[in-house]
Amino acid sequence: MLEIQNLQVCYGRVTAVRDVSIALREGEIVTLVGANGAGKSTLLKTVHGIVPAVHGNLIFEGADVAKLSTAERVQLGIALVPEGRHVFANLSVEANLELGFTRPGGSSFKERQAEVFDFFPRLLERRTQKAGTLSGGEQQMLAIGRALMSRPRLLMMDEPTLGLAPVIIKLIKERLQALKSKGYAILLAEQNVHMALSVADRGYVISNGEVVGSGSSSELLQSQDVQRAYLGAA
């Protein structure tokens, strides 16, 4: 469904992503692991159209999306839950969800919202509250819910467990597994290797903007590549 071919992304003089090729099929959860600054975030932002690619191809469901704006890519069914959540703090939970409702496809806002509330009951409790008053974990749920409002074909998540307490991480992980069973295709960038590999089918190890390893989750859990990428030779 998603094919990234030989992607190169630069910020000014820095090459953040160097010749990266990644593939993702329908219903798969693929994770990108690697230290901070390795380029995982940049990769997701480039797929979403926030950062332009210097070189390479981005094929989504057979179409070349490299020239499309973010708004257009959202209409095609790509959604991103950005790092740091970025909820609209001064808007209510409902308003936040409404902003995510970009692809009706037959359903009404109320219907889609009900699905999200079903999925994250805590949000239903807080529906009229301003998003800024929610806890970190709840904001993360809101950010995910907001992305789900567009019923995306491809859901991308950038460090969803960042700064969250372990019990919330467990909840997020469980919700991710629920999404998987619903057939969502998810591209997940995570620093928390264990969580990521326990949820994903496959993974890519990113270091310094390049893919330095890949395989199924179990393969990666066994390999030394991951540990080396994070902590250096022990």
Partner 1 sequence: MLDLIAQQVLNGLSLGMGYVLVALGLTLVFGVLHIVNFAHGVFYMLGGLITLLCVTKLGLPLTLALVLATVCVGAIAYLIDIIGVRPVAHGPKGHDTVMLSTFAIGLFIFEVTLVSWGTAPQRVAGYSGLLTFFDLTLTVHRATVLVVGAVLLAAIWFTLNKTKFGKQMRALAENPFAARVVGVPVERVGSATFIIAGALAGIAGALLVPISLFTPLIGQNVILKAFVIVVMGGMGSVVGAMVCGLALGVLEAVGSIYIPAGFNLALIYSTLLIVLLIRPKGLFGGRL
Partner 2 sequence: MRNHRSSAIAGIGALALCALGFALSSPYYSSIAVMAGVFTLLGLSVNLVFGYLGFVSFGHAAFFGLGAYTVALLTLGLGISPWLAVPFAIIPTLALGALVGFASLRVGGAYFAIASMVTAEILRLVAGNWLDVTRGHLGLIVPSAQIPILDSIGIPSTAYQLVIVVSAVVLVYVALRRLFASPVGRSWIAVRESVDLAESIGIPTVRARVLNLTVSGGLAGLAGALLVPKILVVSPELFGAGYSSLGLLMVILGGKGTLIGPVLGGTIFAIVPELLRILDDYRGALFAILILLMIRIKPDGLADLLPTALSPLGGERRNEKADQSRPPARLLQADRPVRPDARPLLTVKNASKSFAGVRAVADLTFTVQEGEIVGLIGPNGAGKTTSLKLISGFLTPSSGTVNFDGHELGQRPPHEVAALGLVRTFQHTELYGNLSAVDNVMIGTHLLSPTTLIGALLRTAHFRSTEAQRRATAHEMLGLVGLADKADIRASDLPYGEQKLLAIALALAARPRALLLDEPAAGLNHSEALRLGKLLQELKSRGLTIVIVEHNVPLVMSICDRVVVLHHGEVVTVGTPFEVQRNETVKAAYLGMADDHAEDVILA
Site residues for partner 1 per CB under 8 A: 48, 50, 69-71, 73-75, 80, 82, 86-91, 95, 98-100, 102, 146-147, 150
| Binding partner of residue 90 among partner 1, partner 2, none, CB cut-off 5 to 8 Å per kind | partner 1
Report the C-alpha gap between 204 and 215 in whole angstroms: 7
Give me the phi and psi of 120, to 5 degrees please: -130, 80
What is the per-residue binding string for partner 2 in 63-102, x denoting contact by CB under 8 A?
A: ----------------------------------------
Output the CA–CA distances (angstroms, integers) from residue 92 to 9, 40, 113, 132, 141, in the order listed: 35, 30, 13, 8, 14
Q: Tokens representing 41?
A: 């975030």
Q: Give the residue from 94, 93, 9, 107 showing the smallest Cα distance to 49.
A: 9
- Residue numbers 140-199 binding partner 2 by CB under 8 A: 159, 162-163, 166, 169, 191-198
- The window from 62-70, 140-148, 180-188, 221-229 that contacts partner 2 (CB under 8 A) reads 221-229
Amino acid at 60: F
The footprint of partner 2 (CB under 8 A) covers 12-16, 35-37, 159, 162-163, 166, 169, 191-198, 208, 221-222, 226-227, 230-234
